[in-house]
Amino acid sequence: MGLLRRGSSGGGAVLVVVVCVGCIAATAMAAAAGGGGGGGECPKYKDSKQPLNKRIDDLLRRMTLAEKIGQMSQIERENATFDVMRNYFIGSVLSGGGSVPAAQASPAAWVSMVNEMQCGAMATRLGIPMIYGIDAVHGHGNVYKATIFPHNVGLGCTRDPDLAKRIGAAVAAEVRATGIPYVFAPCVAVCRDPRWGRCYESFSEDPRVVQRMSSIISGFQGEIPPGGRRGVPFVSGGRPSVAACSKHYVGDGGTTRGMNENNTVATLRELMTVHMPPYYSAVAQGVSTVMVSFSSWNGVKMHANHFLITDFLKSKLRFRGFVISDWQGLDRITTPAHADYMLSIKLGIMAGIDMVMIPFTYTEFIDDLAALVKNGTIPMSRIDDAVRRILRVKFTMGLFERPYADLSLAGELGKQEHRDLARDAVRKSLVLLKNGKPGDAPLLPLPKRARSILVAGAHADDLGSQCGGWTITWQGLAGNDLTAGGTTILDGIRRAVDAATEVVFAEAPDAGFMRRNAGRFDAAVVVVGEPPYAETLGDNLNLTIPAPGPSVIQNVCGGGVRCVVVVVSGRPLVIEPYMDAIDALVAAWLPGTEGQGVSDVLFGDYEFTGKLARTWFRSVEQLPMNVGDEHYDPLFPFGFGLETRKAN
């Protein structure tokens, strides 16, 4: 049950903090039970004026083994009751993809839920606040009415680090609107094979582009101040900021045949020059956390790789934040998963993982880790290092001073300013691959004043498909009932054209339809692409345009009307067989909720400026094929992109 507590924010604004009814009393009882230092003395760890390391040292020396292991435990939202948080000293909670307090939950419902869990954490003897994390890979995707930005595959085509930074700041504000201070983003994978189902989470096949676009970290967390120590986590207190998480460390984008969670075969030099550079940039920006990849490097599971986690990331790069596992990442060290959980825990913790995304079997994890410490298999020094890193992030974020969320930022969710930013990102991410057949005038930009324009293809009027995976649910969902707000590409076209221009939508026109309407249309816009997907379910060895997309292209573009084909997808697809029939071709990637950004450029209000951040192959038999390869014969090379001028 919730209670509204009102108070001044110090700047004249009134904060509305949602707390649980029994929280104040429970916290007071916990402090009286021995967490406060006795005799009315304020412990150093509770004194914000004390140096950071003194606060950490003071708290760490007070903690029992059970309290330390609790800090290392991250559990799923559905398990995180008040009693579980308090009794097991849980240090972190997460929402998996699609895990929400209720369908179409409001910011107030999210804040109430997070604060209820925080009440349990604050009611423990030492009152260590928990940190709540959530995936926000292209906006606050789990949350109804949130602004959904283009996926990274599109943002990479903008080559605009400042845009990425502004997107990070907008996402941080929307996440904070729901009371959440930690995001599992950005993905800084360097996707080297588009058959991988997570390729759309990658900015580029080129590590230099990924490094530049990792500026989104400074958007999430705020700019690290001049002279800030390299590797030390930084989260600004000056605006709504969240702790960021660079993932998935390391080599997740280089697996054989693009298979998710598979093996990356590479020399140390290849790993360091292709997949590691984004982490140099992340650490330099003060990223708070790093998530380990499910994948392996030359047969060694990353979750058990002491050399790369401890020797390189923590020691060589001097990363001082905490390392977190992926979802059931320790379980998957063995095959089958969870076959020898105690061994998995030993390997993962000794490799250098600090916080474990359990997320369900938390009592087993806690008991097994305690047993491994008590029998000397895992030294207390390793536990202390993990907890020290977790506490450093929590202190840096200001969680000890401001553990509870409030409703003052509720208006940030889906606000128009963020939607305008997302629309601009869509415009800049579009890549024009063809504009007119040989000998013909360019088709784009299309005229706003025309007799009639045909719009075809199911993706033209499908908000869910243009958002893709990690939207409301883990895998995403097709259709227009997914979330509120936003515009489909068809909506945008209808708004863009002159009032006298007829817009005809036919989802899958056949050849007969085109014969009957010969001469009716001045131009056609065909929008085809992939259904939503995420992770392993998105792995695809053929990369063809799903039906009925090919027949729609053939019927419309071969039906006597000049056509522009817009491809909505998380990666390049096989398109060469249709190129002779197509007049103009646009890669729209996964643009998110603001589909009007597509029509803005199609009709010339803005110019095409995007450049491919991935190689567009001719056939899957060429894969993997990346810029710089010895045998490089793409349909469209890395960096390609035609440009247009604004319409008069």
Catalytic residue among 252, 326, 424, 462: 326
- Check if the beta carbon of residue 497 is closer than 8 Å to that of residue 508: no
The DSSP-derived string for 187-211 is B--B---TTSTTGGG-SBSSHHHHH
- Residue with token string 């009925």: 548
Which DSSP letter does residue 310 get?
I
Q: Cα separation of 476 and 461, whole Å? A: 16
- Check if the beta carbon of residue 535 is closer than 8 Å to that of residue 555: no
Active site annotation includes 535: yes
Partners of 20 in beta bridges = 2
Q: Cα separation of 170 and 417, whole Å? A: 9
Instruction: For residue 103, give both structure tokens.
Output: 């369908």
Q: Cα separation of 88 and 70, whole Å? A: 6
The DSSP-derived string for 172-187 is HHHHHTTT--EE---B
Q: Cα separation of 433 and 614, whole Å? A: 13
Phi, psi for residue 572 in degrees, rounded to 5: -60, 145
Side by side, the strands of the sheet bearing 289-292 are 245-249, 289-292, 322-324
> Residues 171, 491, 474, 250: is their CA dihedral positive or negative?
negative
- Residue with token string 């140096």: 51
- Check if the beta carbon of residue 496 is closer than 8 Å to that of residue 603: yes
Phi, psi for residue 58 in degrees, rounded to 5: -65, -45
The DSSP-derived string for 379-443 is -HHHHHHHHHHHHHHHHHHTTTT--S-BSTTGGGTT-HHHHHHHHHHHHHH-EEEEES-TTSPP-
- Give the number of C-alpha atoms closer than 13 A to the C-alpha of residue 429, restricted to the C-beta side: 37
Catalytic residue among 354, 535, 583, 594: 535
Catalogue the active-site residues. Answer: 326, 535
